[in-house]
Amino acid sequence: MQAIETIQQALRRACLLLSDSSDSAALDSEILLQFVLAKNRTYLFTWGDKSLTSSEALKFQQLLELRLQGHPIAHLIGEREFFSLPFKVNATTLIPRPDTEVLVETALALALPANAKVLDLGTGTGAIALSLAHEQPQWQVSAVDKVAAAVALARENQQMLGLNQVVICQSDWFSAISGQHFDLIVSNPPYIDEEDHHLNQGDVRFEPLSALTAPDNGYRDLFHIADLSRQYLLNDGYLLMEHGFEQGAILRQQLKDLGYQAVRTIKDYGDNERCTLAQWVNCD
Ligand code: GLN
């Protein structure tokens, strides 16, 4: 065990330790030490000469070792911010990504009724559904996931955020949704090709494959949702799905072939095609 260090020394050592395995070693070290001390970043830099207690030092060391093994920061601290809201996370589902905030922004910019009925398919932590409900408290938001542990996690986040109006239930895509129609269906389904080599790198190694990969080069769930949503959308309703940065063209074509209109893809902050919007205009 190391001699007891000051905050500043502990941060410096942590940063060196992580620098080979993480490209955000300094930030990772600060976030983990903030978590151990239950203090904010300003505290770390204001009280850099303060010594850690032995139990704080031990806890910090244990977290650094897990980080060295590649465990995502979000799993180590049990939380991740999304759309300026805190979300509890665990290994049962995907960690919310900044890229997905583009989908939320796109949904919020649509011209929808004041009490729009919205469905989030494969909600995971609940990040998309709960962010929408937080921004638009009058919307009637439902969220489903086929994994019971994800439903439990989304409900925990719902309670923590006080968004009691959101209905969260277990459903394999539309299996438990009957007789309902929506102004907007959103989803961030699994869309990574099962053979993608990125699956062996970074945070995704610690996330469930069921939330990440899909057969048919990653398109199976995207296509399935596109197909079935036609039965669950109100006239002029929208479907908005996140997808891989190289999947836009094929997905747009599929949506057009299925009869959707006004199909367009929105880019993320990294300038990659990230989500596609389509409208269901029922002519009968
Ligand atoms: N965007 C995520 C990633 O590339 C995957 C999200 C998903 O499959 N829905 O890591």
Angle between helical axes of 25-37 and 54-68 (0-180°, round to 10): 140
pTM: predicted TM-score of the whole model, two decimal places: 0.94
**Nearest CA among 58, 94, 61, 57 for reference residue 75:** 94
- What does the pLDDT look like over 186-244, one tens digit per residue? 999 999 999 999 999 999 999 999 999 999 999 999 999 999 999 999 999 999 999 99
Ligand 1, atom 9: closest residue by C-alpha? 190
Distance from Cα 139 to the centre of ligand 1, integer Å: 26
With the most atoms of ligand 1 within 8 angstroms of its CB, the residue from 100, 103, 125, 188 to mutate is: 188
- Which numbered atom of ligand 1 lies nearest the CA of 203? 10
Split at pLDDT 50, 70, 90, the class of 22 is confident
Upper half-sphere CA count for residue 33 (Cβ side, 13 Å): 29
Interatomic CA distance for residues 106 and 99, integer angstroms:
12
Ligand 1, atom 10: closest residue by C-alpha? 204
Q: Is the CB of 276 under 6 A from ligand 1?
A: no
Residue 71's identity, in one-letter code, is: H
- Residue pair 75/206 in contact (Cβ under 8 Å)? The answer is yes
- Which numbered atom of ligand 1 lies nearest the CA of 211? 8
Q: Going by C-beta distance under 8 Å and a sequence separation of 6 or more, which residues neighbour residue 80?
A: 74, 86, 87, 89, 95, 96, 125
Q: What is the pLDDT of residue 23?
A: 87
Ligand 1, atom 5: closest residue by C-alpha? 212
Upper half-sphere CA count for residue 262 (Cβ side, 13 Å): 12
With the most atoms of ligand 1 within 8 angstroms of its CB, the residue from 192, 199, 269, 273 to mutate is: 192
Interatomic CA distance for residues 33 and 265, integer angstroms:
40
Candidates 3.90.320.10, 2.30.42.10, 3.40.50.150, 3.40.630.30; CATH matching 80-280 = 3.40.50.150
Q: What is the pLDDT of residue 21?
A: 87
Q: Is the CB of 212 under 6 A from ligand 1?
A: yes
Question: Order of strands across the sheet with 117-121?
Answer: 167-170, 140-145, 117-121, 182-187, 233-242, 273-280, 261-267
Place of tokens 């996140």: 242
Interatomic CA distance for residues 115 and 63, integer angstroms:
44
Q: Is the CB of 192 under 6 A from ligand 1?
A: yes
Whole-number average pLDDT of the chain: 96
Q: Is the CB of 191 under 6 A from ligand 1?
A: yes
- Which numbered atom of ligand 1 lies nearest the CA of 192? 8
Q: Exposed e or buried b for every residue in 170-188, given b needs 16+ CB within 10 A?
A: ebebbeebeeeebbbbbbb
Q: Where in the chain is the domain with CATH 1.10.8.10?
A: 7-70
Q: Is the CB of 241 under 6 A from ligand 1?
A: no
Distances in Å between the Cα of 55 and the Cα atoms of 14, 30, 36, 120, 163 are 16, 17, 9, 42, 36
Q: Where in the chain is the domain with CATH 3.40.50.150?
A: 80-280
Q: Which residues pair with 117 in a beta bridge?
A: 140
Given CATH 1.10.8.10, say whether it is the number of domain 7-70: yes
- What does the pLDDT look like over 63-89, one tens digit per residue? 999 999 999 999 999 999 999 999 999
Phi/psi of residue 110, nearest 5 degrees? -75, 150
- Residue pair 150/180 in contact (Cβ under 8 Å)? The answer is no
